C-alpha cells in the first residue's frame, strides 16, 4: 500500500512539473509572437513609373509590409501605352490602357543621415493586353490577347519629409522576359513615389 501511495505521489509530482513547463512554453511562445508582430510596420504608397522604350507609364497604389530594412509591396496597377504601336512592330495596333497587378521588394540601405536613405528594389508588373495584327490577304487582321510581365531592378533614393511621410525615386533597367529578373532587353525605367507609414 505504501508503495502504491509513493508511486501516485511521484506521478502527480511529474504531472504538475510537466504542466508547469508547458505553461511556460506557451507563455514564451505568446510573448515571442507578440514581439514579432510589434516589429512589423505597415504603410501605403503611390508610384508613377515610366518605361522608356515602349514607352509605357504605370500608376501603382500599393499596400506595404515593413520589417526593419525590408519592404514588400503589392497593389493594383494602371498601365498606359503612350502610343498604339511598338517601334519594332508598327503593323500591329495595341490596346493602350490596361489594368494589372504590381508587386515588389525593397531593401533599405542604412545611412548616417536620418532623413535620407538609399535602397535596392526589384519590381514586377503583370497585366493583360490585346492587340490587332494586320496582314496581307484573308482575313486581313487577327486579334490577340497577351499577358505581359515586366520585371525591373533599380537603385533608389528615399527622403523622410517626416517620421511617417516619405518621397522616393528610382532608376534602373528591366525586361519583359518573365520572372527571376531574366534581363535581356535592358529596358531603362524610372519612378517617383510617395509613401505613408500607418504604423
User: Number of folded domains in the chain?
Assistant: 1
pTM flag (> 0.85): no
Residue 112 and residue 123 in contact, taking contact as beta carbons nearer than 8 Å: no
Coil, helix or strand at residue 48: strand
What's the confidence (pLDDT) of residue 62? 96
Query: Has residue 25 been placed in a domain?
Result: no
What's the confidence (pLDDT) of residue 39? 77
Query: Has residue 31 been placed in a domain?
Result: no
Rounded Cα gap, residues 133 and 24, in angstroms: 68
User: Domain of 127: which CATH number?
Assistant: 2.40.160.20
What's the confidence (pLDDT) of residue 25? 45
Query: Has residue 46 been placed in a domain?
Result: yes
Domain that holds residue 132: 39-197
Q: Which three cell numbers stand for residue 6?
A: 509513493
Coil, helix or strand at residue 151: strand
Rounded Cα gap, residues 182 and 152, in angstroms: 9
Query: Has residue 11 been placed in a domain?
Result: no
Q: Residue 125: which of 82, 195, 187 has the closest Cα? A: 187
What's the confidence (pLDDT) of residue 72? 94
Per-position pLDDT tens, the chain of length 199: 555 445 444 454 555 555 554 455 455 445 554 555 667 889 999 999 988 767 788 999 999 999 888 999 999 999 988 766 565 566 667 777 889 999 999 999 877 667 888 999 999 889 888 877 766 667 666 777 878 888 888 999 999 898 889 999 999 988 776 555 555 567 888 999 999 988 7
What's the confidence (pLDDT) of residue 150? 85
What's the confidence (pLDDT) of residue 151? 85
Amino acid at each position: 500500500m505504501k508503495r502504491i501511495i509513493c508511486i501516485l505521489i511521484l506521478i502527480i509530482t511529474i504531472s504538475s512539473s510537466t504542466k508547469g513547463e508547458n505553461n511556460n512554453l506557451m507563455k514564451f511562445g505568446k510573448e515571442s509572437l507578440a514581439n514579432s508582430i510589434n516589429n512589423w510596420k505597415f504603410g501605403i504608397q503611390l508610384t508613377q513609373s515610366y518605361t522608356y522604350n515602349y514607352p509605357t507609364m504605370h500608376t501603382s497604389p500599393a499596400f506595404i509590409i515593413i520589417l526593419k530594412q525590408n519592404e514588400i509591396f503589392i497593389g493594383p496597377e494602371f498601365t498606359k501605352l503612350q502610343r498604339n504601336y511598338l517601334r519594332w512592330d508598327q503593323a500591329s495596333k495595341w490596346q493602350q490602357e490596361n489594368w494589372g497587378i504590381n508587386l515588389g521588394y525593397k531593401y533599405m540601405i542604412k545611412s548616417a543621415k536620418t532623413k535620407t536613405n538609399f535602397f535596392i528594389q526589384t519590381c514586377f508588373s503583370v497585366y493583360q493586353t490585346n492587340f490587332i495584327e494586320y496582314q496581307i490577304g484573308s482575313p486581313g487582321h487577327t486579334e490577340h490577347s497577351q499577358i505581359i510581365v515586366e520585371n525591373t531592378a533599380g537603385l533608389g533614393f528615399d527622403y523622410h519629409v517626416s517620421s511617417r511621410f516619405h518621397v522616393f525615386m528610382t532608376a534602373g533597367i528591366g525586361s519583359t522576359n518573365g520572372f527571376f529578373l531574366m534581363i535581356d532587353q535592358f529596358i531603362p525605367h524610372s519612378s517617383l513615389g510617395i509613401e505613408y507609414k500607418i504604423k
